Amino acid sequence: MKFLYICLLAILHLSQGKRVLGPLQSYEAPSSRIIGGQDAAIGSAPYQVSLQQVVGSHSCGGAIINERWVITAGHCVEIYVPAQINVVTGTNRYAEPGAVYQTSEIHLHCMYDQPYMHNDIALLKLTENITFNELTQPIDLPRRPVREGDEIVLTGWGAEEPYGRPQEDLQELALGFVRLDECKEIFNQTTSMGVGHICTFSEAGEGACHGDSGGPLVSNSCLVGLVNWGRPCGQGLPDVQANVYYYLDWIRSVISGNSKCST
């Protein structure tokens, strides 16, 4: 029901001429694929996690940034309490966990969705350390902003069609970077996009879709983005992602326990 509410909100905004549709979390159990991608090689994205309210049912992606912390999109966790969020690691098949971890704290960005669709980022603290192995590893945070010419790899279990079910096998897709000014132009200067976002694109028929939300975009072995929103799916428009580089200070302050803004 709550997902439906989010869905209706998005449609409402669309009908009001806001010209955006998102977010891209999965809508129903047994939950949600990248459009136009291919099966990811086993162990090629060891930082990828699946967020599951009911173990076995995928709702959103995320990424491991260290032993205790996972990062995702704000809209993936805003309606939950920590006990409802299971983090599945170490697998290319979300229904066959390598391990399942519980969440002890949700840190939603204090300016999440203010303005609308901005600061869509959250950190999850786990109740125990993640055990690292060949299939389970953290991803480095970026040391520089992503720029034109960088290859970006998106991974996720998101649907092949809008509001569809997740794909059983993790998908991957190579994307290019689209400059923010260009992206804003494409979206007719939407106020739902700003410095906290990056845009990615390859070609029509490819891109993020429902169930990819919160999932990682990696470039030069660093986490550069988290799936935020788009017009589903693969309609020939860029997808809009949280700009991890922009949020580095926020990430570090939350993890060090110095953030004044947490829930």
Ligand X SMILES: *[C@@H]1O[C@H](CO)[C@@H](O)[C@H](O)[C@H]1NC(C)=O
Q: Which residues are catalytic?
A: 75, 120, 213
Is residue 211 within 8 A of residue 60, CB to CB? The reply is yes
Q: How far is the CB of 43 from ligand X (least distance, A)?
A: 22
Question: Considering beta carbons, is residue 112 or 201 the nearer one to ligand X?
Answer: 201
Backbone angles phi, psi at 141, to 5 degrees: -80, 155
Q: How far is the CB of 117 from ligand X (least distance, A)?
A: 14
Q: How far is the CB of 90 from ligand X (least distance, A)?
A: 17
Q: How far is CA 203 from CA 36, 44, 167, 225, in A?
A: 9, 23, 21, 19
DSSP helix, strand, coil percent of the chain (3-state; round to 5): 15, 30, 55
C-alpha 216/C-alpha 62 separation (Å) is 6
Q: How far is the CB of 19 from ligand X (least distance, A)?
A: 4
Question: Considering beta carbons, is residue 67 or 134 the nearer one to ligand X?
Answer: 67
Contact residues toward ligand X (CB under 6 A) are: 19, 67, 129, 186-188, 237
Question: Considering beta carbons, is residue 96 or 203 the nearer one to ligand X?
Answer: 203
C-alpha 31/C-alpha 52 separation (Å) is 9
Angle at 74 between CA 217 and CA 187, to 5 degrees: 65
Question: Considering beta carbons, is residue 129 or 220 the nearer one to ligand X?
Answer: 129
